[in-house]
Amino acid sequence: MNTLAFQQVDVFTAVPFKGNPVAVVLDGDAVSSADMQSIAAWTNLSETTFVCTPTDQRADYRLRIFTPKRELPFAGHPTIGSAHAVLRHGLKPRAAGHLVQECGKGLVHIKIDGERLLLALPEPQFREPTPPKIAAVAEGLGVMTADIQRAAIIDVGTVWFTVQLASGDVVRALAPDMGKLAALNPIGITGVNVFGLYPGGGSADIEVRSFAPRDGIPEDPVCGSGNGCVAALVRRDGVLKAHAYVASQGRCLGRDGQVTVQFDTSTIWLGGHAVTCVEGVLQT
């Protein structure tokens, strides 16, 4: 029987039981790929991660990321949560104030910004959706095609069909048809990602919701890769003029996550706080 160090971390929040939970197994080298998938199905969280020895000498650790149904090359909230977990577990970064994660997408740089962790988003790849695909997404979301202000299929290691609606309030009011959204996956996407702007002066600038029912995640509470795709589209199309903004996600699920996005010349930095809620061992 293996005894594996384990943490469950709430990400994009400093408050336990908010944000988005990720299960982190810190002894990933001791677990087979098949058992990783079985553990991820058992936790039934949107993602479960396994911290392994890196194969690239520039990395501090290697991360494998699983949904309840499959392995992902990259995902945002598991990256932030796992970075929090390895630091809590005692890992000393090779460079002060900076972690390097190896994953299926390559090397991901993570900066330690006080109590926040911010990842450098992998370079986004854009595909322009056809009008029939936009219409199918609108039908799945329960809105009119004309309600979609902009749309793009964006790959940051996870592929999100990302659309903008009229406002954050409209996004929060959505009641999607999960069967229709799941039927879209054959076009090569993980799910559908929706955002809308709030007027200035509030606690958040943007509301985001991310739906991936085909992967067993009807709605991701607070999605790092989804927010990364939103940030990429916001930057590409000049939706916001600011060099930074805060996105809200998860209030529809009682989670109330906050995602910080910062733009510099060449990089989108995305992250926030994280807090360990469960710590102990798994026995396999």
Q: Which CATH number does the domain housing residue 234 bear? A: 3.10.310.10
Its domain, for residue 202, covers: 125-266
Sign of CA dihedral 93, 278, 48, 45: negative
Q: Report pLDDT for 2.
A: 82
Residues with catalytic roles:
47
Is 90 exceeded by the pLDDT of residue 260? yes
Nearest alpha carbon to residue 8 among 282, 277, 284, 281: 277
Q: Report pLDDT for 227.
A: 97
* CB within 8 Å of 146: residues ≥ 6 apart: none
Nearest alpha carbon to residue 181 among 206, 152, 161: 161
Check whether residue 209 and residue 236 sit in a common domain.
yes
pTM reported for the whole predicted model = 0.92
The pair of three-digit structure tokens given for residue 157, joined into one six-digit string? 């290691």
Check whether residue 134 and residue 251 sit in a common domain.
yes
Check whether residue 99 and residue 147 sit in a common domain.
no
Q: Looking at residues 71-81, what average pLDDT do you find?
A: 95
In the chain, the largest separation of any two C-alpha atoms, in whole Å, equals 57
Number of helices and strands (H, E) in the chain?
Answer: 6, 18
Check whether residue 54 and residue 133 sit in a common domain.
no
CA 189 to the chain's CA centroid? 14
Q: 3-state DSSP helix/strand/coil percent for the chain, to nearest 5?
A: 25, 40, 35
Check whether residue 140 and residue 203 sit in a common domain.
yes
Total number of domains in the chain: 2
Burial 250-273 (b: 16+ CB within 10 A, else e): bbbeebbbbbbbbbeeeebbbbbb
% of the chain beyond a pLDDT of 70 = 100
Q: Looking at residues 184-193, what average pLDDT do you find?
A: 90
Check whether residue 18 and residue 51 sit in a common domain.
yes
Q: Looking at residues 52-65, what average pLDDT do you find?
A: 98
Report the C-alpha gap between 282 and 284 in whole angstroms.
Answer: 6
- Is 211 strand, coil or helix? strand
- Is 231 strand, coil or helix? helix
Share the mean pLDDT of the chain. 95
Which pLDDT tens digit goes with each residue over 202-234?
Answer: 889 999 999 999 888 899 999 999 999 999 999
Check whether residue 44 and residue 62 sit in a common domain.
yes
Looking at the DSSP bridge assignments, the partners of residue 208 are 195
Check whether residue 57 and residue 150 sit in a common domain.
no
Q: Report pLDDT for 241.
A: 87
Which pLDDT tens digit goes with each residue over 107-119?
Answer: 999 999 999 999 9
- Is 83 strand, coil or helix? helix
Check whether residue 277 and residue 262 sit in a common domain.
no
Check whether residue 132 and residue 218 sit in a common domain.
yes
Q: Report pLDDT for 219.
A: 95
Which pLDDT tens digit goes with each residue over 234-259?
Answer: 999 999 988 999 999 999 999 999 99
Q: What is the DSSP letter of 143?
A: S
Check whether residue 58 and residue 144 sit in a common domain.
no
Is 90 exceeded by the pLDDT of residue 271? yes
Check whether residue 232 and residue 169 sit in a common domain.
yes
